[in-house]
Amino acid sequence: MTLVLLGAFSFAGTWLNIPRVAMLEHTARNLYFHVPMWFTMMALTALSAVHAIQCLQTNNPVSDIRSSTAALVAIVFGLLGLATGSMWARFTWYEGTNIWWNFDPKQSMAAVQVLIYGAYFALRGALDDPIKRARIAAVYNIFAFVTVPFLLYVLPRQLESLHPGAEGNPAFSDITDPIMRVVFYPAVIGFIGLGWLLYTQRVRLSRASTTLQSILRKNL
C-alpha cells in the first residue's frame, strides 16, 4: 500500500498542472517531498519517545531497540529534509548565486534538531553497559523529543525568515491550491508509511541480530 501511494503521488506530482507562482515555478513540486519528509521525521521522533518511556518503565531491551531504531530512521528523513530544503532554497531564494546554505532561522533550527538526535547516537556509542546505555539514552531521547515542536515549529514562526510560516504567516499559501493538496496529503501518508516500513524492518533485523549474539555467547 505504501509503495502504491508513493508511486501514485510521484506520477501525479510530476504530471498534474500546478499554479505558476513567481520565483517558485515548477520547483513548487518539491512540496510533495520536502514537507512530508519532515512530517515523517516528527512522527518517528514521537514513536521513539514513546518507546523510550516504555524502556524506563519496564527495562525491556526490545523497547530500547524500537526507540533507537525510530530515532535512526527519523534522522534519515531529517537529513533528506535538509537536503531537499537546501536545494529548494538554492534555486528559489538564492537563484543566480552559489549559495546553498544561508543560516536562515528555519534551516538552522532544523539542522540543530538533526544534530540533537545525532548526539543521541554518540551518547549510546559512549556507553558499554547495555542496561545503563538504554536508560540514559531513553532520558536523553525524551529531552530530544521535547525540543522538536520548539525548534521545528514554535521558534521559527517567531523569527524573520524567508521560509513560509515565519513570523506567524501561514505555511500554506497560493502554491497549495486544491489541486496540489490532492497530491500533498497522500504524499504525507505515503512517506509516513515508508518511514514505518523502514522502522519495522530495521527492528526485525536488530532483534534477530540480538538473538543470534545471545545464542553465540551461550554456545561459546
Is 51 or 86 the better-scoring residue by pLDDT?
51
What 3-state DSSP class applies to 45?
A: helix
Estimate to the nearest angstrom the gap between the alpha carbon of 118 and the chain centroid: 12
The CATH number of the structural domain formed by 2-219 is: 1.20.120
The whole-number pLDDT of residue 217 equals 72
**Tens digit of each residue's pLDDT (9 = 90 or more) over 78-115:** 999 999 988 887 777 666 677 778 788 888 999 999 99
Global pTM value: 0.85
The whole-number pLDDT of residue 18 equals 61
Rg (alpha carbons) of the chain, rounded to whole number: 20
Domain borders along the chain are: 2-219
Is 106 or 13 the better-scoring residue by pLDDT?
106
Cβ-based neighbours of 104, under 8 Å, separated by 6 or more: 89, 93, 161, 162, 163
**Tens digit of each residue's pLDDT (9 = 90 or more) over 189-213:** 989 999 999 999 999 999 898 888 8
